[in-house]
Structure 1
Amino acid sequence: MSLLDVNMLIALAWPSHLHHHKAGTWFANHSKLGWATCPMTQCAFVRISSNPKIIPEAVSPKEALALLVEIVRHPAHHFWKEDISLLDSKVPTDLLLGHRQVTDAYLLGLAIRYKGRLVTLDAGLSALLSKNSPHRKALCIL
């Protein structure tokens, strides 16, 4: 099962996104195995999809919510509750260096908790795990 980070959700939903094709290809090949969103990724999707400074064809929050409803109707979609704390040992915080990594570390911890993997377009997430970490398999960078 794969938890898609918000960058993946945005790339899938918006054809103008630089990585729309890459995300779409991954989704076509892997989504049937199960994929997930969580409250954090859903909220971020609506926030970013309705921000014209980020998405040129941004829509209203209400329209972004409607788009999210369509996306999660996919038969292999699962909703993961955020039922761990940032302080949980599953959340890889040992190598945190900056404020922008906190949410990523939490999402990776959530993927570990659900015995899945976090799928992202952000190669920088690999810095959250040591090279010999047993959790490397919980991270998929496209």
Structure 2
Amino acid sequence: MRALLDRNVLLALFDEDHVNHVLARQWLVKHADSGWSSCALTENGFLRIISHPSYPNSVSTRQAFDLLDAARRPETHEFWSAEVSALDALDRERVHGPKQLTDLYLLALAVSRGGRLVTFDHRIPLSAVRGATADHLVMIGAD
């Protein structure tokens, strides 16, 4: 099952000093054969954060683009267009607040593509995304 890596997983992969760098690398090495994906939200989030001067190991905007571009080159990567409507994919009765929306949207995108969302966030309610099962969500470090 192809993995949609959220922005924090991307940050951990590219930043060797990130607290979750080792966990992210171990997960990716173990599951690389299934392939990974990014989307506009995860790419933009990664680029914005890693190039921000307040980020501990920030790089220039150009370097951020180059890092992501180099990672997208392997045949294991696939870009997913965000063609899912939150209004259709989310069960609004199970969404508890605005801080959940991006994670839930990414999970809904993964479900729509037959993939899985890979994240460090352990508070994503599967029931808030129509059709989501435990197979659609990987919470690194939850073992």
- TM-score higher than 0.5 here? yes
Question: Structure 1, residues 39-60: CA drift from partner, whole Å, max 9, x if none?
Answer: 110000100111232x312012
Query: What's the Cα RMSD here?
Result: 1.6
The 8 Å contact of residues 9 and 120 in structure 2, kept in 1 or not, is answered as yes
Unaligned runs of 5+ in 1: none
SS in 2 for 1:81: coil
Equivalent residues of 1:107, 1:118 under 8 A apart:
yes
Shift of 1:134: 5.1
Specify whether residues 60 and 92 from structure 1 end up closer, same or farther in structure 2 by C-alpha distance, changes over 3 A only: farther
**Hey, what does 2:40 align to over in structure 1?**
39
Q: Is the 8 A contact 2:126 2:132 kept in 1?
A: no
Q: What is the percent sequence identity of the aligned residues?
A: 37
* Residue 41 to residue 134, structure 1, CA distance change in 2 (3 Å): closer
3-state SS, counterpart of residue 84 of structure 1 = coil
> Cα deviation per residue 1:85-136 (whole Å; 9 max; x = unaligned)?
11123x35432112110001100000000011100011112x3437xx7522
Aligned residue number for residue 3 of structure 2: 2
Amino acid in the other structure paired with 1:7: N
CA distance in 2, matches of 1:85, 1:9: 24
- Kindly provide the amino acid, as one letter, of the partner of residue 119 in structure 2: T
Q: Distance in 1 between matches of 2:136 and 2:91?
A: 11
Structure 1 CA distance, aligned partners of 2:91 and 2:8? 20
Q: Which runs of 5+ in 2 are unaligned?
A: none
Instruction: Return the letter of the residue paired with 1:87.
Output: L
Match of 1:87 in 2: 87
1:34-113 matches, within 5 Å, as 34-53=35-54, 55-89=55-89, 91-113=90-112
**Paired residues of 1:3 and 1:118 also in contact (CA < 8 A):** yes
Q: How many residues align?
A: 137
Taking structure 2 as the reference length, what is the TM-score of the superposition? 0.88
> Could you tell me how far apart the structure 2 residues matched to 1:73 and 1:123 are?
30
Q: CA separation of 1:38/1:134 partners in 2, compared to 1, >3 Å: closer, same or farther?
A: closer
Look up the match of 1:141.
139
